[in-house]
Amino acid sequence: MCSQKNMPHSIWSLSPLQRKTVLQHILVNEEYRFLYCYVPKVACSNWKRVLKVLSGALESVDVNIKMDHRSDLLFLSSLKPEEIRYRLKHYFKFMFVREPMERLLSAYRNKFGEIESYQKKYGVEIVKRYRKGLAKDASVKGDDVTFGEFVRYLLDEDVEHMNEHWMPVYNLCQPCAVSYNFIGSYEHLERDSEYVLQRIGAPPFVHFPERQTWYKPVTTETLHYYLCTLPQKLLRELLPKYILDFSLFAYPFPNTTTEHCRH
């Protein structure tokens, strides 16, 4: 995919906005000399815990604290251009990916089902924009956004300006401009994470955290259910926005015929 013409081959050939996005998503560990591009909804909180343990900021990956996604982490964006160049060239670089629609559904259920700030910031706007027949003075809370409304909102958004929780992985991590040494998948999270930890030479006491007991994973059945409640036209319009995530990471396209939804 990356060898096709008009694909970027270096972060310096990206637009300033694209470069800013990717540099703000790549975390640096100096001692073990690696770069990790984090993707929200693809186990990034657990990887950030691992990074904090490796840098000595956190005692153990199992410490039960709310994750602070900024403190004690070094972002590539905070370094000078020559320091960035050096690390991109010499450090071990990795990222993790997930089936694109499953990641979207996970973001939707988490942000609009549980997080009030997202309901206020995005939910209210989405409901006002896409729900017909709302009385102008209706007190919209934004806590009941449907998956269909969320998808309509995504169709109108420009991928480069999206919130990181639903921005395509391609735009977050630029896998053609940064030559990653390893791309792990959410589907083989434990196996792939152990591989990365071995590869960077992490001490044996550092392991990848177990999935939290409260964690409700998106099952194939749930995804099927949500995709089948969508007007298929919407799904067909949505897929092109995430086409690079499907093709670069070899995820098959979801079926967009209503036929398979009857089962």
Instruction: Round to the nearest angstrom and report the end-to-end CA distance of the chain.
Output: 34
Q: How does pLDDT run along the chain (263 residues), one tens digit per residue?
A: 999 989 999 999 999 999 999 999 999 999 999 999 999 999 999 999 999 999 999 999 988 888 888 899 999 999 999 999 999 999 999 999 999 999 999 999 999 999 999 999 999 999 999 998 776 656 788 889 999 999 999 999 999 999 999 999 999 999 999 999 999 999 999 999 999 999 999 999 999 988 766 677 888 899 999 999 999 999 999 999 999 999 999 999 988 777 778 75
Task: Please state, as a whole number, how many other Cβ atoms lie within 10 Å of the Cβ of residue 197.
Answer: 18
How far is 77 from 12, CA to CA, in rounded Å? 13
Given this model, what pLDDT does residue 63 score? Answer: 84
Instruction: Return the pLDDT at 138.
Output: 66
Please report the pLDDT score of residue 256 as a whole number.
77
Structure tokens at 231: 């007007």
H helices present in the chain, as ranges: 16-23, 44-54, 81-90, 100-114, 116-118, 124-130, 147-156, 169-173, 189-199, 220-229, 232-238, 243-248
* pTM for this predicted structure: 0.95
